[in-house]
Chain A
Amino acid sequence: MNIKLIQRFGKIFYLITGFTLFLIGLILDVIGKNVGPVFAQVDLIKIGAFVAFYLFIQSYWKRESIPLKRLTAILILGTVVLGISLLLAVAIGTEFEFKGSSLIPNNYSTIFISNALAVIIGVAAIIFILLLKDILVYKPRRYTKRNFLILVIGLLAATFSAISLNPYESRLITTILFGIFVVLILINSFRMPWIVFLKKREKVLTIVFTFSILVILTALSIIFQDNSSAGKSILYFSHSLKYFVDGTFLFVLLYSLIAFLSTIFHLPTSDTFDRKMSEVASLHNLSKLVTQVLDFNELVDSVTGMTLQVCEAKSSWLEIIQPAEKLKNLKPEQSGIYVAAQKNISVLDINHINLSSSFTLRSSVINDRKPVMIDDFKNDSRTEQLSNLGSKIGSILAVPLIARNELVGILYATKETEYGFDREDLEVISAFADQAAVAVDNSRLIEKSFERERLMREMNLAQEMQKKLLPQSIPNIEHIELEAFSSPAFEVGGDYYDFMMIDDKRLAIVIGDVSGKGVSAAFYMAEMKGVFQSLCKIYPSPKDFLINANQAISSSIDKRSFISLIYAVLDIETGVVTSARAGHCPFILAKESDVSFIRPNGIGLGMGNSELFAKYIQESQTQLKSGDAVIFFTDGITVAHTKDGDEFGYSRLLEAIKNNRNNSAIDIRDAIILSVNKYMQNQPPHDDITLIILKWLRN
């Protein structure tokens, strides 16, 4: 057999035992109808029945931790018991004759009614005790359970000491034990920590319930007093049970009385207590605000919601003042202040309040940075012109949200009644507003750092992209030295250069500068690379190439942006350089005789319409001799400047080239860079710098 079955069987066993013992008692009562108890220990059997009933009830008992629910149960049980008792004992009635200190029932109906009453009232008493126990051990202290156990032992001791006592006899030991029990009741009954934590409404309910219990228990006590019909029935059944029932009634009565009185004493402070409780709850919620800073809408929603809670306001709304740096980008018609969240009030009403007249709560808070409280909205001189809102608003409160000395918002709360807010409300909302301000501020800081992070990532991405767009290696060609150098000024530059062998005897060189920086520059650069790689083999003539490149670029480039470019093609057999220029700074030809700029006409890519571009573009041809160098560069070199703003310029560049003309390409490159760096006195470069050096060594 499994354990559950044994347990269930055990429970049923209790019930069967109880009823068996009870029936035996009943039979013995019937047998001894005219002579009194058949033997003195009949009581033991009857008490035994109740012990079995107790065990049965106990096995089904579920603890309930809410005292108010237990009080309700006591009230219902008391009412039911009172009803049944009235029906049995008063309406039907019992008749007894005195025989010494014993009672002799007049008829069998009296015996049955007595037994029925006894079992009902006895079981009820057991349940009363169990219910009270649940209330008493709410929020237990160290000795709570022990004290209650002593109380029950006291009651049982008094009960058992009265075994086989005749109805109207008394026993000294029982009287003493019952006296001790009453003292124990008093010790236990002052334990009611649960009352303090009740809300006002619950306290009122408690008062009603405890008072009703008092009335009902008093009625029960009267009905079951020793000389009444019902009292006699119980005394006849068992004097011990009478002590148990009387003791229980007394316990319930005293506990209810004390609970009733202390709840009444707590009632006046309950408003304060309620508020303190909700303040504690709100402050607890406030700590949650910190975690909500990731979602601004959720944050402002919580702030208004909690404002309603803290001061029991009718409506509440939060206006957010835009930070100064954001205001710059706003058009004049957009104001820097907006309603971020509202509760129980329409934006229409809010605007009405803020637009009305010379005085507004908003301007007052902005100017003074102090809370404004209007006790009588309808009649106050500051707001009387808004009296059409008077039915909705009795009093209103506006407090500033200040974080790091910056006014970040205004929190409003309204009540329907005049003089609805007191000093404590103001203090609580102000404290609350301070917390909310910190949360709003944090939220903004996080947003800002996210934004910065995002830009950083974008920049890094563009930088990576740009690196990949520049050639990874330089073509290695016999009798030609080719060197390149490129350094972006900061994260992403707009300089571009590339090489490509058009066929086995022609080298294409491109150098350019995309206007703008950052991601857009990297994007146009990528487009330029695509154009270069696809068009250079189709249009080997630099002029044709640039005309077609302009068409391709113009269709997609922003009208504020352009690309300056030089496209040059070197015939590696003959040493002829053919070039065309689209708005780029001229390139330099360093010959033995002199150093000069090559500057054919041409407009930047993406600047004008295609016809004008084609009309003005020119092509230039140069024959290289052994030892000649060609230097392509971007304007980062010529606009490099000192702290005072003096530019490196073209003449210094020419000078540096002239002095190094006979050196190798790599030496010329290094000499130019050194010269520029020296001139800038190690200032960080203002613009991207790109250099291509080509040295022709074929005879």
Chain B
Amino acid sequence: MTNFKINFRESSNIQIIDLKGYLDAHTAPDFENAIQKIINNKQYNIIVNCKNLSYISSAGLGVFMAYIEEVRKNKGDIKITNMSSKIYNVFDILGFPLLYEIMNTEEDALKKFTKSI
């Protein structure tokens, strides 16, 4: 249950984070450290791939909210992709799709980024 993993990738200067497993109050600090690390390296184009994410709690959602302002101020963005319908529903109820760019696939997000750069 507490199994949670983060993987980093990079594609043409865009940082991709793969989330896997349970993102809850216990594992949210790990996710937060991951984003902080990227921002510390002055990278602001971030894709969070939720393909293997099986659960997200309010603490997990809070991590996105913690950094979106700073990322956008630096002309970057956090785009969220590959959600299962269950995960999407959690984001959707809270109104995330109105505030964040949520896309079906990672490729879509990459395209969107390269267009804007």
Contacts and interface: CB of A to CB of B under 8 A. Distances in A.
B94 A564 contact: yes
B99 A515 contact: no
B58 A583 contact: no
Interface stretch (B5-13, B37-45, B63-71, B75-83): B63-71
B61 interface: yes
B54 interface: yes
B66 A583 contact: no
Contacts of A584: 93
A517 B26 CA distance: 12
Interface string A586-616: 1000000000000001111001100010001
Nearest to A586: B93
A561 B1 contact: no
A656 B50 CA distance: 32
A616 B54 contact: no
A465 to B, nearest CB: 20
A100 interface: no
Contact of A607 (B54, B55, B95): B95
A561 B62 contact: yes
A584 B94 CA distance: 6
A645 interface: yes
A586 B89 CA distance: 11
Contact of A560 (B54, B65, B86): B65
Interface string A551-585: 00000000111101000000000000000001111
SS of A interface (majority): loop
Contacts of B86: 647
Given A516-B25, A584-B93, A586-B93, A560 B99 contact: no
Contact of A645 (B54, B66, B94, B99): B54
Place the interface of chain A in its size category: 20 to 34
A515 B95 contact: no
A603 B99 contact: yes
A337 to B, nearest CB: 24
A122 B69 CA distance: 105
Given A559-B65, A560-B65, A645-B54, A516 B95 contact: no
Given A513-B58, A559-B65, A561-B62, A604 B95 contact: yes
B1 A612 contact: no
A560 B58 CA distance: 9
Contacts of A561: 58, 62
Contact of B66 (A560, A602, A647): A560
B65 to A, nearest CB: 6
B80 to A, nearest CB: 14
B83 to A, nearest CB: 16
**Which of A494, A560, A584, A585 has most chain B Cβ within 10 Å?**
A560
A647 B90 CA distance: 13
Contacts of B61: 515, 562
B69 A616 contact: no
A515 B63 CA distance: 12
A645 B1 contact: yes
Contacts of A517: 25
A582 to B, nearest CB: 8
B117 interface: no
A604 B99 CA distance: 11
Contact of A583 (B25, B55, B93): B93
B59 interface: yes
Chain A CB within 10 Å — which of B59, B69, B98 has the most?
B98
B85 to A, nearest CB: 12
Contacts of B1: 645
Contacts of A604: 94-95
A601 B95 contact: yes
Contacts of A583: 93-95
B75 to A, nearest CB: 18
A603 B98 CA distance: 8
B95 A559 contact: no
A616 B95 contact: yes
Contacts of A516: 25, 58-59, 62
B62 A562 contact: yes
A607 B94 contact: yes
Nearest to B54: A645
A562 B93 contact: no
B66 A559 contact: yes
Contact of B65 (A494, A562, A612, A645): A562
Given A559-B69, A607-B65, A645-B1, A602 B95 contact: yes
A562 B55 CA distance: 18
B94 A560 contact: no
B23 to A, nearest CB: 13
B73 to A, nearest CB: 13
Nearest to A650: B89
A515 B59 CA distance: 7
Contacts of A647: 86
Contacts of B99: 603, 607-608, 612
Contacts of A582: 95
A603 B58 contact: no
B58 to A, nearest CB: 3
Contact of B58 (A562, A585, A602, A608): A562
Contacts of B25: 516-517
A375 to B, nearest CB: 48
A560 B63 contact: yes
Contacts of A494: 58
A601 B66 CA distance: 23
Contacts of B69: 559
Contacts of B62: 515-516, 559-562
Given A564-B94, A585-B93, A616-B98, A515 B58 contact: yes
A608 B96 CA distance: 9
Nearest to A585: B93
A60 B94 CA distance: 97
A560 B25 CA distance: 11
Nearest to A515: B58
What are the nearest 7 A-B pairs in CB distance?
A603-B95, A515-B58, A560-B62, A583-B94, A560-B66, A604-B94, A608-B99
Given A513-B58, A559-B66, A583-B95, 14 more contacts: A494-B58, A516-B25, A560-B65, A561-B62, A562-B62, A564-B94, A583-B93, A602-B95, A603-B95, A603-B98, A608-B98, A608-B99, A616-B98, A645-B55
Interface of B: 1, 25, 54-55, 58-59, 61-63, 65-66, 69, 86, 93-95, 98-99
21 contacts: A494-B58, A515-B61, A516-B58, A517-B25, A560-B65, A560-B66, A562-B62, A562-B65, A582-B95, A583-B94, A583-B95, A584-B93, A586-B93, A601-B95, A602-B95, A603-B98, A604-B94, A607-B99, A608-B98, A616-B95, A616-B98
